[in-house]
Amino acid sequence: MKCKLIKMLTALLGLTGAACVQKNIPANAIVTVDAVSFEKALSDVNAQIIDVRTSEEFAEGHIEKALNIDVTQSDFIEKAKKQLDKSKTSYVYCRSGRRSMMSADLLSKEGFKVVNLRGGYLEWQSYKDK
Whether the predicted pLDDT of 12 surpasses 50:
no
CA distances from 108 to 20, 33, 76, 111 (A): 20, 16, 13, 5
Catalytic center residues: 94
Options 3.40.109.10, 3.10.20.740, 3.30.420.40, 3.40.250.10; which CATH number does 2-128 get? 3.40.250.10
pLDDT at 23: 56
Q: How far, CA to CA in Å, does 60 sit from each of 53, 56, 95?
A: 11, 7, 11
Which backbone phi and psi does 87 adopt, to 5 degrees? -80, -10
* For the chain, domain boundaries: 2-128
Confidence class for position 130, pLDDT limits 50, 70, 90: confident
What's the pLDDT band for 2 if we cut at 50, 70, 90?
Answer: very low
